[in-house]
Amino acid sequence: MAAPTVAARAHTAVGAPAERREGREKVTGRARYAAEHELPGRAHAWPVTATIARGRVRSVDAAAALALPGVLAVLTHENAPRLAEPDDPMLRVLQDDRVPSRGAFVALVVAETPEAARSGAEEVRVAYDAEAYDVTLRADHPDRYEPEQANGGHPGRREQGDPENVFAESTVRVDTAYRVPPLHNHPMEPHASTAHFEGDRLLVHTSSQGTTVVRATLAALFGMAEDAITVTARHVGGGFGSKGTPRPDVVLAALAARHTGRPVTLALHRRMLPSVVGHRAPTLHRVRLGAGADGRLTSVLHEVTTHTSRIREFVEQAAVPARVMYAAPHRLTVHRAVPLDVPIPSWMRAPGEAPGMYALESAMDELADELGMDPIELRVANEPDAEPDSGKPFSSRHLVDCLREGAHRFGWSRDRDRTREGPWLVGQGVAAATYPVLVGPSTASAQALPDGTFTVRLNATDIGTGARTVLAQVAADALGVPLDRVRTEVGSTELPPAPLAGGSSGSSSWGWSVHGACTRLAAALAVHAGPLPPEGLTAHADTTGRADAESPYARHAFGAHFAEVAVDTVTGETRVRRLLGMYAAGRILNARTARSQFIGGMTMGLGMALTEGSTLDPAFGDFAECDLAMYHVPAHADVPDIEAHWIDEEDPHVNPMGSKGIGEIGIVGTAAAIGNAVHHATGVRFRELPLTPDRVW
């Protein structure tokens, strides 16, 4: 592998399987999460959730709740402190009588203990004026429209050539439809915040993927200066996108703190999450692939219909990966949305790519069947010279290497046959993966101390990924010092501002500024004469990142997923026996934490394939599955042997480390690989996730 740009000094830290620095704190229970800050006089809040899907609050009777021992206050839209109008309507809590969706917060009980608050919430009587509602997504819904843009600023529609006619005239055609249900992030730590006003200052501990934006949002809502607010997120038990921007818990905790004058903790109950912190919107896919007898694609058409909330447009960009993957001269990718009375959808790990690549990669498998071609060879035959939609060259791609090397390691055979073992049918499947490389502006400082140690500071967030550790590795190599001489401080708005842990962009963005600050510090130390002053020597960096639109390159990570499944012909149960992921994701900064990210994503893809899915119940207007009993995420017994590997790749067109992003690509394509394996095993194509026994039987 070529030397990284930190050349000229020892660079042994980056890439090493360094253990995460907060590991001991976490496993010994010393790590403090947002709800665990036991401030003197702390009170606890419990929300009251709307039982109608649409309408107005006619009245709130809090008398019985207030009469309970320990209950301090009941906030409603009538007495809650006023907020400025938020950009995100999800944060417009207790400001008027409107109920936009079932499960929305209509009151908040504050009490001495969580138990008293919860009892109080059960005693609050809310009367509603209910209105007719609609939560059912249909492709032929009369309100369906075509948005200008899908999420991420992507154009809603792209069309090149004459896809409809060329498809109709193609020698081999696949015209197929898939459905991905609503999905929920369900991080291990439900959303929680502790807020405290100290004079004119607001101090907040919150479970968030990025507190820089939390602080800016609170400042705007409460009409405060940003520097009068401190927000920390030292430890976060996952988010998967549902903590990417502030959620109602942090606003409610601050409202309650202001109203009562006490520190207030609000820890949402897991059953509240599906209705208030976002979900992956369901997607209906129509995919048409036209090809010649040689397997070369003539046309790719991917049409996506999804739901959005009536109060905020959110369009899952599921047709976007079809703009990146395969060469075809005639192409259509389009998004359509149906506004419904549903909770506002939001980001969930690999938004767009996860459902979009399930559909595209399943359709590629169907096309391989039609052609009688090996699915790997079909993909190789359609490898583009440049990004099909933009015509830009790829900064690096290596998808074919991932397919070939993955096939080798997995033991993929071109003439594979399904096998039968008693009641089990066993088959194998493959699918490709892609995720865009995103990088944002970041700042950092690096300080050299007289004792020979270094401290790197920036408001990065470690959501359980190992960010602290990886940033120390980047710093150590840029400084040319051993890893154990470098400390990292992250997770507070008191540190230099940095973007969120989202879009698989964290390490690329933060690492760039850490690299910059450390490179400057190293240069300053090189010319420094004599001992360091007690405060040491400090250097800063302010890195801009490079917006995608400005890069002459199409920048994406790629990968290939392989699955072996066994399907029980008696019960319809599908068991995944083996999963293998092979990635081209730029320079891998930490072999241990990267593997965790990859296999974590693959495990989430396994859940998406087999068990995860929510139902919007038309009778109540809400998700039927609201806890981990009904919404089954993979447990240990569901997760087989998982392998994650990567090829040596260093992308020179992203950042000084040569890294891409690794947080999301593991989920992309995994569900398709498993679905394709189920088809191989059974000979039957199932096109609706998840592949639960009732569907497969």
What is the C-alpha separation between 399 and 584, in angstroms, rounded?
7
**Strands 71-75 and 105-111, how do they pair?**
antiparallel
According to CB under 6 A, which one of 244, 282, 621, 656 is a site residue for ligand MOS?
244
Q: Which stretch binds ligand MOS (CB under 6 A): 52-60, 254-262, 347-355, 606-614?
A: 347-355
* Of residues 191 and 457, the one with the C-beta less far from ligand MOS: 191
Preceding amide of 690 cis, omega within 30: yes
What is the pattern of x (binds ligand MOS, CB under 6 A) and - over residues 498-537?
----xx----------------------------------
Q: Which stretch binds ligand MOS (CB under 6 A): 38-46, 104-112, 234-242, 571-579?
A: 234-242
SS3 469: helix
Can residue 238 be called a binding residue for ligand MOS (CB under 6 A)? Answer: no
| Stretch 473-502 residues interacting with ligand MOS (CB under 6 A) | 502
* Of residues 109 and 498, the one with the C-beta less far from ligand MOS: 498
Place of tokens 């996730």: 689
| Residue 189 phi, psi dihedral angles, 5° rounding | -95, 110
- Closest alpha carbon to 266 in 253, 248, 251: 253
Answer for the pair 164, 301: CB distance below 8 angstroms, yes or no: yes
Provide the H-helix boundaries in 154-210.
Answer: 163-168
CB of 127 to ligand MOS, least distance (A): 38
- In 292-423, the DSSP E strands lie at 297-309, 330-340, 419-421
Residue nearest to ligand MOS (CB): 241
* Of residues 241 and 429, the one with the C-beta less far from ligand MOS: 241
* Of residues 295 and 351, the one with the C-beta less far from ligand MOS: 351
What is the C-alpha separation between 335 and 349, in angstroms, rounded?
19
According to CB under 6 A, which one of 163, 343, 351, 499 is a site residue for ligand MOS?
351
CB of 232 to ligand MOS, least distance (A): 19
* Of residues 299 and 504, the one with the C-beta less far from ligand MOS: 504
* Of residues 297 and 348, the one with the C-beta less far from ligand MOS: 348
According to CB under 6 A, which one of 54, 102, 335, 349 is a site residue for ligand MOS?
349
For the annotated catalytic residues, the residue numbers are: 664
| Residue 201 phi, psi dihedral angles, 5° rounding | -100, 145
* Of residues 406 and 506, the one with the C-beta less far from ligand MOS: 506
Can residue 427 be called a binding residue for ligand MOS (CB under 6 A)? Answer: no
Sign of CA dihedral 489, 492, 497, 503: positive
CB of 191 to ligand MOS, least distance (A): 14
Please state at what angle helix 248-260 crosses helix 211-222, rounded to 10 degrees. 50
- Closest alpha carbon to 304 in 350, 342, 358: 358
CB of 209 to ligand MOS, least distance (A): 6
* Of residues 299 and 597, the one with the C-beta less far from ligand MOS: 597
What is the C-alpha separation between 33 and 191, in angstroms, rounded?
10
CB of 465 to ligand MOS, least distance (A): 10
* Of residues 502 and 600, the one with the C-beta less far from ligand MOS: 502
Instruction: Write out the two tokens for 557.
Output: 């990570």
CB of 188 to ligand MOS, least distance (A): 15
Answer for the pair 374, 180: CB distance below 8 angstroms, yes or no: no
Q: Which stretch binds ligand MOS (CB under 6 A): 118-126, 191-199, 343-351, 622-630?
A: 343-351
What is the C-alpha separation between 483 and 454, in angstroms, rounded?
10
Q: Which stretch binds ligand MOS (CB under 6 A): 5-13, 327-335, 348-356, 444-452?
A: 348-356
Sign of CA dihedral 652, 653, 656, 659: negative
Q: Which residues, 6+ apart, have CB-to-CB distance to 134 below 8 Å?
A: 340, 341
CB of 597 to ligand MOS, least distance (A): 12
Place of tokens 């009251």: 48
Q: Which stretch binds ligand MOS (CB under 6 A): 240-248, 257-265, 310-318, 614-622?
A: 240-248
Can residue 574 be called a binding residue for ligand MOS (CB under 6 A)? Answer: no
Can residue 348 be called a binding residue for ligand MOS (CB under 6 A)? Answer: yes
CB of 314 to ligand MOS, least distance (A): 12
Residue 590: DSSP 8-state: B
How many residues interact with ligand MOS (rule CB under 6 A)?
11
Answer for the pair 185, 239: CB distance below 8 angstroms, yes or no: yes
Can residue 196 be called a binding residue for ligand MOS (CB under 6 A)? Answer: no
CB of 350 to ligand MOS, least distance (A): 7
Can residue 47 be called a binding residue for ligand MOS (CB under 6 A)? Answer: no
Task: Please state, in angstroms and as integers, the Cα–Cα distance from residue 346 to each residue in 151, 281, 362, 604, 620, following that order.
Answer: 10, 8, 24, 17, 21
Beta bridge partners of 130: 55
* Of residues 241 and 427, the one with the C-beta less far from ligand MOS: 241
The four Cα atoms 19, 37, 271, 66 give a dihedral, to 10 degrees, of: 180
- Closest alpha carbon to 390 in 324, 434, 455, 459: 324
DSSP string, 419-447: EEETTEEEEEEEEEEEEE-----EEEEEE
According to CB under 6 A, which one of 103, 163, 241, 388 is a site residue for ligand MOS?
241
* Of residues 244 and 690, the one with the C-beta less far from ligand MOS: 244
According to CB under 6 A, which one of 105, 347, 394, 410 is a site residue for ligand MOS?
347
Q: Which amino acid is at 349?
A: R
What is the C-alpha separation between 533 and 594, in angstroms, rounded?
38
What is the C-alpha separation between 225 and 212, in angstroms, rounded?
13
According to CB under 6 A, which one of 170, 209, 265, 461 is a site residue for ligand MOS?
209
Q: Which stretch binds ligand MOS (CB under 6 A): 40-48, 68-76, 346-354, 645-653?
A: 346-354
CB of 277 to ligand MOS, least distance (A): 12
Q: How many CB atoms lie within 10 A of CB 67?
A: 10
SS3 136: coil
Answer for the pair 492, 235: CB distance below 8 angstroms, yes or no: no
Can residue 151 be called a binding residue for ligand MOS (CB under 6 A)? Answer: no
Instruction: Write out the two tokens for 431.
Output: 């699918």
- Closest alpha carbon to 666 in 613, 595, 616, 570: 595
CB of 239 to ligand MOS, least distance (A): 6
Q: Which stretch binds ligand MOS (CB under 6 A): 22-30, 175-183, 237-245, 314-322?
A: 237-245
* Of residues 301 and 304, the one with the C-beta less far from ligand MOS: 304
Answer for the pair 282, 318: CB distance below 8 angstroms, yes or no: no
CB of 352 to ligand MOS, least distance (A): 10
* Of residues 244 and 388, the one with the C-beta less far from ligand MOS: 244
Q: Which amino acid is at 434?
A: T
Q: Which stretch binds ligand MOS (CB under 6 A): 99-107, 238-246, 533-541, 553-561?
A: 238-246
Can residue 435 be called a binding residue for ligand MOS (CB under 6 A)? Answer: no
CB of 244 to ligand MOS, least distance (A): 5
Q: Which residues bind ligand MOS (CB under 6 A)?
A: 209, 239-241, 244, 347-349, 351, 502-503
